[in-house]
Amino acid sequence: MKTRIAIIGAGVVGASIARVLSQYEGLEVHLIERNVDAGMGVSKANTGIIHPGHEDDPEKHPLRAKLCVEGNRLWYQWTKELRIPAKWPGELMVALEEEDIKVAEYYLELAQKNGVPGVRLVDREELLRLEPNVNPNAAGALWAPTAGVMSSPMAAVALTENAVDNGVKFHPETEVRGIKVENGEVKGVETNRGFIEADIVINAAGLYADRISAMAGIDHFTIRPRKGEYYIFDDDAGPKVRRIVHQTPTPTTKGVYVITEMNDGVMIGPTAEDLPEEAKDDTSTTREGLEFVWEMAKKLVKGLPPRSRVIRTFAGLRPEPPDGRWIIEAYDDPWGFINVAGIRSPGLTAAPAIAHYVAEELIKGKLDVKLTKKSRWNPYRNAFWFKALPREKQAELVKENPSHGRVICMCRTITEGDILDAIARMKKMGVRTITLDGVKLRTGVTGGTCQGSFCRVRIANIIARETGVPLWKVSIKGEGTEYGIGDIKVLLRGEEE
Amino acid sequence: MRSEYDVVVIGGGPAGLAAAIKAKELGLNVLLIESREFLGGIPMQCVHPGFGIHYFKEDLTGTEFIHRIIERFRELDIEYYTNAHVLEVAPYSYRHKILRIVTEEGLFEVAAKTVIYAAGARERHMFEIGITGHRVAGIYTAGEAQTMMDIYGVMPGKEIVIVGSGDVGLIMARRFTLEGAKVKAVIELMPYPGGLTRNVVQCLEDFGIPLYLSHAVTRVEGKRRVERVIVTKVDEKLRPIPGTEESIECDTVVLAAGLVPYLKVIEKAGVEIDPVTRGPVVNSYLETSVPGIFVAGNALVINDLVDYVVEQGEEAAMGAYEFVKNGGLPALKWRKLVKGRNIRLAVPHYLADTKDVTIYARVGEPEENVRLRFPEIGKEIRLPFVKPSEMIRVKLKREEIARAKDRITMEVVRDE
């Protein structure tokens, strides 16, 4: 008999768990997601940093400290296997004032305790050699060479796609309404699309993990949203930084980061603003938040690109548990229920390690489920982007299929072939509604200089053609976000609604 | 596709088509590359009149105007590709540029003696004009909304707020109204409308659409789609004044907040950029700082009239002809065009006394009863008014340019 597992939430944490579980025999894994696609919640909007692992005190947060260091190592392998765009430029924690050096020294100590390789202090002179755009008055920095940057929105969809390829069933647009418990044991999950039987339910519902947990009767915690606002500049706007640059944390602020993100644009942010519990969907930017980021970033680096070169501002929400403590637990009552809740920073970094921890320590250890590796498990995802291929390969592709020769997103050089490939992958993964955001997450279209004003209509048109939906009804991110309201004469005919 | 051309034109809109036609008429062999699936560029989505008054001496719609140009282009049997994208323009030598092009038929590398870049402009979007709030459905640039409506037949929304009162914003206000939508307001940052008075009257006043001057949309709110915008008064430095916020219910925001030359490809080739026009720095042949790369149309400077765009395309073609004929432009003494009082921008940036030149300029502030003056060459033109929204187009003769030693100042002076 198979052990049935339901994972609630296809963010980077839930999808990582699904991927890890997909390598074992005898499991039937269901990945349940409220949104139209994987990675549309917390995972969609963050700094995308793979932390080196020296920011947690192993005495205060032992699990977090351990899983972050492990997660960093695992991502190095996972990003390659899954073709998630990533780079590893290392990180400089900059001491702006002389007294901040003490703070940097404290983190050096944590790095030693956590076993983070390569971390050391650098003086001003070396700092400016490593990173000429840093504030020349900075006192020095802590250098952590293992830090990386990745395309975090791409991560959750890549993980889910690979999990599905290995037998996991993905249920998008499926909202959990209850968790069935009988005789102190978990029996399954009630959803808007019916009942999903399960022997084990894993709650990885991000900002909503408190509500899901309460459905299983565990209601001793709440998750509060913490907002982070960001700017991204155009890919050719400088000055840039080569490494990940941030400020030594202070009791009041962790400071903002200045990085060069995966698409080569400088990114600055985030803020850290605690919102009330009910504001779990408030991803709006604010004038105050953005001004704060600007001022902080200006202290960190000598120069920012001009404001006129900003191509996007955005805000994301991070789940903040009580006392900042991750809640990763399997319970006796109800037996079979596992919380992976309140996964605040460095949750993105730790996700692969969290997934292994859940499988090995909780499912195998605590719940005593036998885990046997499949003889055949495919760790790879064969994604490609036309622009990243060598010229000969590009020429071959165009010859095979002319759609690869049609560049649709000019700012980012994304072809119709790339878009068709993304749509096919979405269908195969089990996505019900092919959305503009889904295509954006997978290809990068509309994320460049023009933010889609040239190409969005053309992409919507391709989606309409491939899915048989009228153009106006193609949605940005699901119901209520349709591209238009009808054909051009809809209002004149008086057929509203 | 052959492997070497006298001129490769990038962009199949009015500037590019006009450049290709002129170049062909001058006897050059020409290749034109267009990224969209059809020729014609932006006029293809302009079903309103106001095109061609100078060039054809007739008031045409955008589509009628471009149809005539495309007809002429077809008659000349000029080689062209649609759905084609230029990945790179590499200045290989003074005489040759190597272009890497991807099309449905394959990848090509071609050499060109000259390149005319006429890829137009992009629209400014909400993130670069300081609009905060929710990123929801129902936010479009004017060009996107126009393409949706007039090329793909889709209605963007019902209750609309337009940001920007330039001609594009004004014309879109009328267009939406004629399709049955309610335009709730047009919001303008400056204390005066950005478009022609004629358009303010015909597109707003005639339909009772309110125009908010000295206001900005500072925030968009909504859960899935736009539900309202927050509009704030601005002070004389264009900063929002706290406490003046007002909410307007709507389901759609259309941004007509201006255009920026779209230069990705030639910027990488190393052309120098004018920070004010955000287009390339050019001489009177419309040649950029990379010899043999010419530029025309909205990629050069944001124009008000398609007639000017076509004129620039032809001018660039004549420049390319000179370049091809002589193996490069002759060594010349260039006079710098200096922006004097109330001149915000002016192109070309360098003038020589080898040919007459047309100068396109914009003022910084509106003024009445002024003179446009070129002190070094003793030229003055009386103007009843100047406005930032209306381009000044003025010709300097080669003899006039010859009178200046090393600079020619252009300035607006008051008439007293």
Tell me the pTM: 0.96
Handedness of CA B23, B25, B28, B34 (dihedral sign): positive
Distance from CA of A398 to the nearest CA of B (A): 6
DSSP secondary structure of A142-165: EEETT-EEE-HHHHHHHHHHHHHH
In 10 A of CB B281, how many CB atoms?
Answer: 18
- The answer, yes or no, to whether ipTM is higher than 0.90 is yes
8 Å CB contact of A461 and B264: no
Which of A234, A282, A284 is the best residue to mutate to test the B interface, defined by the most B CB atoms within 10 Å of its own CB? A284
- Which residue among B106, B125, B267 places its CB closest to the CB of A395? B106
Give the residue numbers of A marked as catalytic. 51
Chain A partners of B243 at a C-beta cutoff of 8 Å? Answer: none
State the nearest Cα–Cα gap between A246 and chain B, in angstroms.
Answer: 24
Chain B residues in contact with A395 by the CB 8 A cut-off are 106-107
In degrees, rounded to 5, the angle at the alpha carbon of residue A153 between the alpha carbons of residues A151 and A154 is 65
User: What DSSP designation does B365 have?
Assistant: S
Task: Please give, rounded to a whole number of angstroms, the shortest distance from the CA of A141 to a CA of chain B.
Answer: 33
**Is A405–B103 a contact, with Cβ atoms under 8 angstroms apart?**
yes
Contact B357, B312 (CB under 8 A): no
Amino acid code (one letter) for A312: R
Distance CA(A7)–CA(A15), nearest Å, equals 8
pLDDT at position B389 is 87
**Rounded distance between C-alpha atoms, residue A27 and residue B268, angstroms:** 53
Contact list, B219 vs chain A (CB under 8 Å)? 284, 287
Q: Which of A233, A400, A454 to mutate to test the interface with B (most CBs of B within 10 A)?
A: A454
Enumerate the residues of chain B whose CB falls inside 8 A of the CB of residue A403.
104
Asked whether the beta carbons of residue B127 and residue A311 sit closer than 8 angstroms, the reply is yes
- Residue by residue, pLDDT tens for chain A (497 residues) are 899 999 999 999 999 999 999 999 999 999 999 999 999 999 999 999 999 999 999 999 999 999 999 999 999 999 999 999 999 999 999 999 999 999 999 999 999 999 999 999 999 999 999 999 999 999 999 999 999 999 988 999 999 999 999 999 999 999 999 999 999 999 999 999 999 999 999 999 999 999 999 999 999 999 999 999 999 999 999 999 999 999 999 876 778 999 999 999 999 999 999 999 999 999 999 999 999 999 999 999 999 999 999 999 999 999 999 988 999 999 999 999 999 999 999 999 999 999 999 999 999 999 999 999 999 999 999 988 999 999 999 999 999 999 999 999 999 999 999 999 999 999 999 999 999 999 999 999 999 999 999 999 999 999 999 999 999 999 999 999 999 999 999 999 986 54
B84-116 per-residue burial string, b: 16 or more CB within 10 A, e: under 16: bbbbebebeeeeebebbbbbbebbbebbbbbbb
Closest Cα in chain A, distance from residue B110 (Å): 15
Q: Report whether pLDDT(B2) > 80.
A: no
Evaluate the omega torsion of the peptide bond into residue B348 and state whether it is cis, within 30 degrees of 0. yes
Candidate from B127, B251, B262 with C-beta closest to A312: B127
Q: Which of B258, B222, B230 is nearest to B139 (CA)?
A: B222
Contact flag B127-A399 (C-beta cutoff 8 Å): no
Q: Do A280 and A306 meet the contact criterion of CB atoms below 8 Å apart?
A: no
Token code pair at residue B83: 């759905």
Q: A-B interface: how many C-beta pairs under 8 angstroms?
A: 148
| Distance separating alpha carbons of residues B80 and B78, to the nearest angstrom | 6
Mutation target among A312, A415, A483, A493 for the B interface, most CBs of B within 10 A? A483
Q: Tell me, what's the pLDDT at A153?
A: 85
